Chains A and B, each alone.
With several copies, the nearest count.
Chain A
Amino acid sequence: MSKELWKGNEAIAEAAIRAGCRYFFGYPITPQNEIPEYMSLHLPEAGGVFLQAESEVAAINMVYGAAGSGARVMTSSSSPGISLKQEGISYLAGAELPCVIVNIMRGGPGLGTIQPAQGDYFQATRGGGNGDYRLIVLAPSTIQEACDHVRDAFDIADRYRNPVMILADGMIGQMMEAVEWQPSESRTLPEKTWATVGTGGTRKPNIINSLFIDPNESERHNAHLNEKYDVMRAEEVRYEATIPDDADVLFVAYGTPARLAKAAIRLLAKEGITGGLFRPISLWPFPEKPLNEAASAASVKAVVTVEMSLGQLVDDVKIAVNGVKPVSLCGKAGGIVPTPREVADAALAALGRK
């Protein structure tokens, strides 16, 4: 495999096509426009359909229709647009439809700014829509990883009949890096016998639905979903841990801030402090146990969460660390990327050295 230079957004789109995605419904919004633009050119070449919807609301509901009819389908947007998709996402999860949703996050709240941010962590991991549902959320921190996540996302979605979200900050969408295209492992996936493609007169009608008016049925449905989520919790946890045995401080970060934490670790090394990095890759299911174990290591004196938001990831870190070590926050918002120095200083402060 040779290396190619790809812009994040275009790489994501190309990865989707390579993963067999044949339908894309989207609406323009910065900083993710290259995804629909790439799709509009290349999806028809692959025999697929690109459609620009009249809104994000329409786009996610087109995804609902296409997914229900058995298609591999994707949509992408950025923060305010993802907010508008919340009802639709809740419906997709409720009706157990597989699809891939990409959020290239920008600063908020409201119209905010178009610069990169991570303010939608809560929305992604805890469901900005109504009810008890979960998305599998994958957070790449390089473009190579973004491609790999997209490739896997379609299979995971099909396996669980559940939407999968790729959550990346605008930096990942806008930058270019080298990519090596990895072939998909061919997972054997369940047949979509539930899809609506016409009964053909040979079976009972299939119904795509999230309504269970009888609360007992509704409770059963929720219990069923929850069992599925438990399987995901057991099988889909992903993370990267680079933690020396003598780490004084443990950084926790995903996406771009994880890269900056690595730079901060180098700065700290010069100052005689050893840092480690725990990088959750699946934000949901969150790698709760591995993080707890990492934080429990005797040498670790403090856990510092680095995020381009003002205290979102840190909630999951606190839940995982469960009081075994103090947890503090190095947060930025509004499109500003923290500098390695700021990150290092946050660690010094957490260690009481500043």
Chain B
Amino acid sequence: MAIVYQKSKGLTDLEMHYCPGCTHGVIHKLVAEALVDLNLLEHTIGVAPVGCSVFAYNYFNCDMHEAAHGRAPAVATGIKRVLPQNTVFTYQGDGDLAAIGTAEIIHAAMRGEHFTTIFVNNAIYGMTGGQMAPTTLVGQKATTAPHGRDRAHYGQPLHMAEIMATIGGAAYSTRVTVVDMPHMMKARTAIRKAFQMQMEGKGFTFVEVLSTCPTNWGMTPVEALGWVKDTMINEFPLGVFKDADSKEGS
């Protein structure tokens, strides 16, 4: 009997604190596996955000920084400018990246910083208890939008992967998800490609991953997968929005 799949060496042995069925765990695995498979792990420095994935520094089996809320791209910039040969990535939620950290991510992209950002969009603030995020869907309820996000009051969700695609220094911007096997395989490819392009010096690489938050969506983990497929994808279309390799979007 040969092992077909087991826990990645890119992850530590610690049990993760995520809620049951939260796809943060799945995304962690894809990142860790990519780093191992591309032989980058030992030279990687990751940056954890403030959000449910704040403890990511305990899970990834490489050097890690825990950044202030939203500032992971600035921290990663500091690291990568000191260590241009190493692999650097940030792992950020939608509150972290698309709200408080908007300036930092846009300017990292503008400068074409040579790191990779994994953007976990679960349309909510998970960590702090289900408050509205910039990516919360119109009508979606949140603890600070008890009647659902009101378009007249709060406008429409921000589409970060599309914004990134408009910025010169961004080499790669894509949106994927992990809610079933075909999508997960695309996500896997996208994450690998992002790291590869980073190491080839192509510029800033950005992978938005639609993720679930069963706890704050008030759904079972399986229902949450369904909501991504049926509803969230309609608001946030999947695809490649920029690819410096192919010089065209999707």
Contact = CB atoms under 8 A, between A and B. Distances in A.
Direct contact between A and B in the complex (CB less than 8 angstroms)? yes
Contact of B78 (A25, A55, A110): A25
Given A28-B125, A40-B143, A208-B66, A61 B78 contact: yes
A147 to B, nearest CB: 22
A198 B41 CA distance: 8
Contact of A199 (B42, B50, B131): B42
6 contacts: A29-B128, A55-B100, A58-B71, A65-B47, A65-B80, A197-B63
A65 B79 contact: yes
A69 B82 contact: yes
B64 interface: yes
Which of A50, A66, A196 gathers most chain B CB within 10 Å?
A196
Which of A41, A56, A57, A73 gathers most chain B CB within 10 Å?
A57
Contact of B65 (A50, A52, A63, A196): A196
B68 A211 contact: no
Which of A28, A50, A51 gathers most chain B CB within 10 Å?
A28
Interface range, A side: 35 or more
A69 B83 contact: yes
Given A56-B100, A67-B78, A207-B65, 17 more contacts: A25-B78, A36-B144, A40-B145, A51-B81, A54-B107, A54-B134, A58-B103, A61-B67, A64-B67, A64-B71, A65-B47, A65-B77, A68-B79, A91-B68, A196-B64, A198-B86, A208-B66
Interface in A66-87: 66-71, 73, 80, 87
Interface in B39-78: 41-45, 47, 50, 54, 57-58, 60-71, 74-78
Nearest to B12: A205
A8 B76 CA distance: 31
A210 interface: yes
A182 interface: no
Interface in B131-180: 131-132, 134, 143-146, 153-154
Contact of A198 (B67, B83, B106, B145): B83
A308 B189 CA distance: 50
A58 B144 CA distance: 17
Given A63-B78, A111-B54, A207 B67 contact: no
A65 B54 contact: no
Report the 8 A-B pairs with minimum CB-CB distance, sorted nearest first: A65-B78, A196-B63, A61-B74, A66-B78, A62-B78, A65-B75, A61-B71, A55-B100
Contact of B64 (A30, A33, A208): A208
Contacts of A27: 99-100
Contacts of A36: 131, 144
B249 interface: no
Given A30-B128, A53-B74, A197-B63, A207 B57 contact: yes
B129 interface: yes
B82 A70 contact: yes
Interface string A82-120: 000001100100010000000000000011000000000
A40 B79 CA distance: 19
B215 interface: no
B99 A71 contact: no
Which of A51, A61, A209 gathers most chain B CB within 10 Å?
A61
Q: Is the interface of A mostly helix, strand, loop or mixed?
A: mixed
B79 A205 contact: no
Q: Is the interface of B mostly helix, strand, loop or mixed?
A: mixed
A54 B64 contact: no
Contact of A111 (B68, B74, B100): B68
A160 interface: no
Contacts of A200: 42-43
A347 B95 CA distance: 46
Interface of A: 23, 25, 27-30, 33, 36-37, 40-41, 49-59, 61-71, 73, 80, 87-88, 91, 95, 110-111, 196-201, 205-211
A198 B85 CA distance: 10
Contacts of B58: 207
B235 interface: no
A40 B144 contact: yes
Contact of A49 (B81, B125, B128): B81
Contacts of A62: 74-75, 77-78, 81
B129 A28 contact: yes
Which of A51, A69, A87 gathers most chain B CB within 10 Å?
A69
A57 to B, nearest CB: 7
Contacts of B41: 199, 201
Contacts of B64: 196, 205-209
Nearest to B158: A54
A95 B68 CA distance: 11
Given A53-B74, A62-B77, A196-B45, A87 B68 contact: yes
B55 to A, nearest CB: 8
Contacts of B66: 95, 111, 207-211
B196 interface: no
A57 B67 CA distance: 12
A151 to B, nearest CB: 21
A205 B47 CA distance: 13
Interface string B98-110: 0110111011000
A57 B153 CA distance: 20
Contacts of A71: 78, 82
